A and B are shown apart, each in its own frame.
Chain A
Amino acid sequence: MTSRLPTRLDARFRACAQEGRAALVTFVTAGDPDLATSQAILAALPGAGADIIELGVPFTDPMADGPAIQAGGLRALKGGQTLAKTIAMVRAFRESDAATPVVLMGYYNPIYIYGVPRFLEDAKAAGVDGLIVVDLPPEEDGELCLPALAAGLDFIRLATPTTDDRRLPAVLTNTAGFVYYVSINGITGSAAPDPDAVAGAVARIKSHTGLPVAVGFGVRTPEQAAAIAAGADGVVVGSALVDAVRRSLDAEGHATAETVGAVTGLVASLAAAVRGVARQAAE
């Protein structure tokens, strides 16, 4: 991807690097718990300290997600969330924020059913910067990855502890924007990662690529985020934010006056922790 123009993702990682710190990547599920509240959360994330936003596309059968994100997706679907509405959320977000990168994260079937060419066109036009599609490994690059790159959308691949040096080149080929290192063998929001092992893995990946490496799965607290931030270009927090949404709901599962603040409050404390840690390794 040598010929691509600088993107929002490139600019944001570069800016964070210049500040000598990791980027805070926040995941929230689109439409959770309802469209209006979710749109308000999205709009408030940059101000709370999110550097990059991963917007989860709800799916009925999220095979790589733990209970928190499964539940968030089901809340959103129950509220009538669709892929078209999720793309529209990004379009609305872009009216007030032209700089914060937004990456859609989810599973392939809703995109496949929407239609790949139409999806890429609509997502690009709405201001989406990249895609993370959990169930599309390099073996299926022809489905979405290559068309996405051709359409000017970054395709961000997951690397995992099982991705050894032999396989890593296959994973990194056609990856753009950044590499998402899954810090544990497991589903989202489960075991806590070991910061030392993660730093070693990040260094291993960086010996194969010039792309930034963000680390996620299992990072829940400001303390954990700070520990991971010391050895990575970005820290992803998802389940903890989706849990914060859940805890703020009323007995019927509806948003309350607390919901947006519950998420932004946690993001602010995560941002403070990440900003307080200097990167160990220079670029």
Chain B
Amino acid sequence: MNAPNSFRTGPDENGHFGIFGGRFVAETLMPNILELEAAYRAACADPSYKAEMEEGLKHYVGRPSPLYFAERLTEHLGGAKIYLKREELNHTGSHKVNNVLGQILLARRMGKKRIIAETGAGQHGVATATLCARYGLQCVVYMGAVDVARQAPNVFRMKMLGAEVVPVQSGSKTLKDAMNEALRDWVTNVRDTFYCIGTVAGPHPYPGMVRDFQSIIGIETRAQMLEAEGRLPDSLIACIGGGSNAMGLFHPFLDDPSVAIYGVEAAGHGIASGLHAASLTGGRPGVLHGNRTYLLMDDDGQIAEAHSISAGLDYPGIGPEHSWLHDIGRVNYISATDEEALAAFQLLSKLEGIIPALEPAHAIAKVIEIAPTLPADHLMVVNLSGRGDKDIPQVAEILGSRL
């Protein structure tokens, strides 16, 4: 495929990134989606919205997040110079809050009083519950029953923040089913409810809008790396479930050909086992949750259950822009197994005093693999998208030492 002049112009007016994206939703939702698109466009043109965002990102979220040179990890691996983009230091402990702030401010402009969200690991749910508390909005979070069990600390946090957490019992009881249930809620309460989607997926305008909100990660990284090293990084690496932290880091660098970009999907028990969440590596294009994208499915088009140690990556799809970047070859999509992620989780904790969430532990796992093969002057940025506090009980159980 011929490379376009720019990788940053999507989506087109119908929400397409190449063949991916679109608006595959029930008619009940179409007026809402068109209303949202118009409201977002108007907000982007309004300096007061931009000012409100900047104020919130600085004083409430705590941005900019540091770009930290991971000295001991670099020494240990003996190759590339590794920087961590510290998104785990944001308020609520992950990158999710960047997007939620943008959407909640938009919901306020639209006069919506009731916010719904889906969540996997609970990080998006916590961020949504947090901003709903901050602005006095009703908040309902749909979470698969399996995830409710394995992410108990976040469930408690959401409840503490005043949100209603609805455990979803249908299907595989994980993130995809939470998204189905949130869509059912939205169809039912379409007039007063704003659906705050947590990743760069769903019907247009969500993939592009969430990317725009998350792009602050890459914009800051660019400026911080120029300040620290006087040049752009040589490579970027981030984990991918739906892919919002990765897209936020990658997008501002897509048109810099010298920057190699790696997205890390969850390989679960290994791609060959069939028990994984690697939509690009092990799936094919299909239509789910409002967009065409790579999905895990069987030969009849029935969606397969994803498998990952990380609730935040346990999703059988991926944002449509990633599917496009995969097909045109701009981003290299690779995968890390549960076992590799667990090892990385422990290594980063011990070498840097930073306990990563299991999601970015997948990215760290590939840093461990790739960095030693690169020269010492190679600048590598890994997005540390969330902190691991929420994962401590689960990891302790797996490692056999009850806390």
Contact = CB atoms under 8 A, between A and B. Distances in A.
Interface in A224-263: none
A61 B31 contact: no
A138 to B, nearest CB: 8
B373 interface: no
Interface string B298-311: 01111100000000
Nearest to A70: B170
Interface residues of A, number: 44
A112 B27 contact: no
Interface string B107-141: 00000000000000000000000000000000000
B184 to A, nearest CB: 5
Contact of B188 (A112, A157, A185): A185
A111 B187 CA distance: 23
B28 A108 contact: no
Interface stretch (A38-46, A161-169, A269-277): A161-169
A58 B302 CA distance: 9
Chain B contact surface mostly: mixed
B289 interface: yes
Interface stretch (A9-17, A18-26, A129-137): A129-137
Of B26, B180, B288, B300, most A-chain CB atoms within 10 Å: B300
Given A140-B22, A158-B26, A167-B31, A77 B302 contact: yes
29 contacts: A61-B289, A61-B303, A62-B180, A63-B183, A64-B184, A64-B187, A66-B184, A67-B170, A70-B170, A83-B301, A109-B301, A109-B303, A110-B301, A113-B286, A113-B300, A114-B300, A137-B25, A139-B23, A139-B30, A158-B28, A160-B27, A160-B28, A162-B29, A163-B30, A171-B27, A185-B187, A185-B190, A187-B187, A190-B188
B171 interface: yes
Contact of B27 (A60, A107, A158): A158
Contacts of B14: 139
Q: What 3 pairs across the A-B complex have the smallest Cβ distances?
A: A113-B301, A110-B301, A186-B188
A157 B27 CA distance: 8
A61 B286 CA distance: 13
A159 B27 contact: yes
Given A110-B301, A162-B190, A134 B26 contact: yes
Interface in B297-338: 297, 299-303
A182 interface: yes
A140 B303 contact: no
A182 B188 contact: no
Contacts of A107: 287
Interface string B26-44: 1111111000000000000
A107 to B, nearest CB: 8
Contacts of B191: 162, 185
Contacts of B28: 64, 158, 160-162, 182, 185
